[in-house]
Amino acid sequence: MKTKILKQNQIDEAVNFLKNAELIALPTETVYGLAADATNEEAVSKIFSAKGRPSDHPLIVHLDSFNKIQEWVEEIPDAAIRLAHYFWPGPLTMILQKRKNVSDLITGGLETIALRIHKHSIALRVIEKLGTAVAAPSANAYKRTSPTKPEHVLKALSGKIAAIIDDGRCRIGLESTIIDMTSAVPVILRPGAITRLMIEPVININIQEPLAHQQKVPGNMAVHYQPEKPLFLISMEEIRRRLPQEKNVAIMHHSDIIETKNATYYRMSRNKSEYARNLYATLHTIDATQVNKIFVEKPPFHNEWLDITDRLHKASST
Ligand code: TXA
Ligand code: MG
């Protein structure tokens, strides 16, 4: 199969592929998603083979409007309604009790379902014209770095999917915040651009944000988001200490450092949003070079940076 590159105005073509049970990559504000018609099991099953993803890993279902939520969930707690009104469309995924008729293929056999309304006008129009919803995990090979540019998607999935809508670089660059709304005290399962400190005042509940949450959901693993090169998340002191023994290393840093010849330096922003936007793109760039390992300076210890810290931990080899 030759993967077609669609422009922003080729929405009808994208919708036709989905109606024919094909996969297409869609831009969202977080990362590119790999979309299938969520009501078509044949289409949804193709997601798992294209990504090499185990079939018990649940998928996020993307809606284009809040009105469609009843088709997917049993009941919506008041707090979830408030979060939806406040943060959707946006980088927030909510876990809710699924309706009985939702396919186990989507939820990996769980009684719950992950739902999101992202904020990308083109991809929203595709879902709206399709008339149903799309199941869409990140458009990368299983366990690998998520795609924030069309070329990242093509590197992993070219020839395996019908098309990609090319809308350049994703604005946020890290996956959505996932919050489990099925318990009395909501739990953040994956930190993202919408932080605990932004959520709590909206629902007036202190929510849980375990650093490494215990819930055993397939797909939430200690190792994930990995670049091809081994990555070490260490302090600047540790980088300076180890550097003389290295021959060919990439260094991602946000503090000042004196450059040496045995390393390639990637200066990251001290601004959190800018760092997040460039994180995966930098890892993809480094993967395409000849270095044999990556040293990443530990990001600042601050609630706002938790999503970056989480992804770097999961990308690291130590
Ligand atoms: O920003 C994003 O959320 C991107 C874009 C494409 O929307 N999507 C994304 O999907 O990151 P994926 O499949 O790569 O990650 C979804 C995560 C997985 O770790 C999965 O385990 C978790 O969501 N998940 C899905 N359904 C769940 C459920 N019912 N309960 C708990 N976790 C769930
Ligand atoms: Mg993913």
Q: Each residue of 145-168: pLDDT tens digit?
A: 999 999 999 999 999 999 999 999
On whether residue 8 sits in a domain, the answer given is yes
- C-beta of 112 in contact with ligand 1 (< 6 A): yes
Task: Give the pLDDT band (50/70/90) at residue 239.
Answer: very high
Q: What is the pLDDT of residues 175-195, one digit of tens each?
A: 999 999 999 999 999 999 999
- C-beta of 173 in contact with ligand 1 (< 6 A): no
- C-beta of 58 in contact with ligand 1 (< 6 A): yes
CA distance 164 to 141: 15
Residue 224 is predicted with a pLDDT of 72
Contact 231, 291 (CB under 8 A): no
Residue 146 is predicted with a pLDDT of 97
- Same domain? For 251 and 177 the reply is no
Q: What is the pLDDT of residues 62-74, one digit of tens each?
A: 999 999 999 999 9
Which of the listed residues 156, 185, 203 is the one where a domain comes to its end?
A: 203
- Which ligand gives the minimal distance to the CA of 31? 1
pLDDT of 217 > 70? The answer is no
- Same domain? For 258 and 185 the reply is no
Residue 166 is predicted with a pLDDT of 98
For residue 174, the number of C-alpha atoms closer than 13 Å in the C-beta half-sphere is 25
- Same domain? For 184 and 76 the reply is yes
CA dihedral 264, 172, 272, 313 (to 10 degrees): -60
pLDDT of 212 > 90? The answer is no
On whether residue 209 sits in a domain, the answer given is no
Residue 210 is predicted with a pLDDT of 80
- Same domain? For 236 and 199 the reply is no
Which of the listed residues 184, 203, 222 is the one where a domain comes to its end?
A: 203
For residue 33, the number of C-alpha atoms closer than 13 Å in the C-beta half-sphere is 29
CATH number of domain containing 273: 3.40.50.11030
- Same domain? For 47 and 90 the reply is yes
On whether residue 224 sits in a domain, the answer given is no
Domain span at residue 246 reads: 231-315
Give me ligand 1 centre to Cα 260, in Å.
Answer: 40
- C-beta of 124 in contact with ligand 1 (< 6 A): no
Ligand 1: nearest atom to the Cα of 112 = 29
Residue 225 is predicted with a pLDDT of 78
CATH number of domain containing 37: 3.90.870.10
- Which ligand gives the minimal distance to the CA of 104? 1
Contact 309, 300 (CB under 8 A): no
Residue with token string 């949003």:
273
- Which ligand gives the minimal distance to the CA of 47? 1
- Same domain? For 25 and 118 the reply is yes
- C-beta of 175 in contact with ligand 1 (< 6 A): yes
Q: What is the pLDDT of residues 294-308, one digit of tens each?
A: 999 999 999 899 999
Residue 151 is predicted with a pLDDT of 98
- C-beta of 107 in contact with ligand 1 (< 6 A): yes
- C-beta of 73 in contact with ligand 1 (< 6 A): no
On whether residue 219 sits in a domain, the answer given is no
Residue 317 is predicted with a pLDDT of 84
Protein residue closest via CA to atom 15 of ligand 1: 137
Protein residue closest via CA to atom 13 of ligand 1: 137
Mean pLDDT, range 46-67, rounded to an integer: 96
Residue 96 is predicted with a pLDDT of 98
Residue 90 is predicted with a pLDDT of 98
Mean pLDDT, range 252-269, rounded to an integer: 96
- Same domain? For 247 and 196 the reply is no
Residue 100 is predicted with a pLDDT of 96
Mean pLDDT, range 260-284, rounded to an integer: 97
- Same domain? For 52 and 138 the reply is yes
- C-beta of 165 in contact with ligand 1 (< 6 A): no
pTM equals: 0.96
19-23, 101-105, 134-138, 220-224: least confidently modelled range: 220-224
- Same domain? For 177 and 235 the reply is no
On whether residue 292 sits in a domain, the answer given is yes
Count of domains for the chain = 2
Mean pLDDT over all residues of the chain?
A: 95
The answer for residues whose C-beta is within 8 angstroms of residue 73's C-beta and 6 or more apart is: 96, 97, 98, 99, 113, 115
On whether residue 254 sits in a domain, the answer given is yes
- C-beta of 97 in contact with ligand 1 (< 6 A): no
- Same domain? For 8 and 150 the reply is yes
On whether residue 274 sits in a domain, the answer given is yes
pLDDT of 141 > 70? The answer is yes
On whether residue 43 sits in a domain, the answer given is yes
Give me ligand 2 centre to Cα 279, in Å.
Answer: 15
- Same domain? For 247 and 168 the reply is no
Pocket test for ligand 1, best of 97, 99, 175 (most atoms within 8 A of CB): 175
- Same domain? For 195 and 244 the reply is no
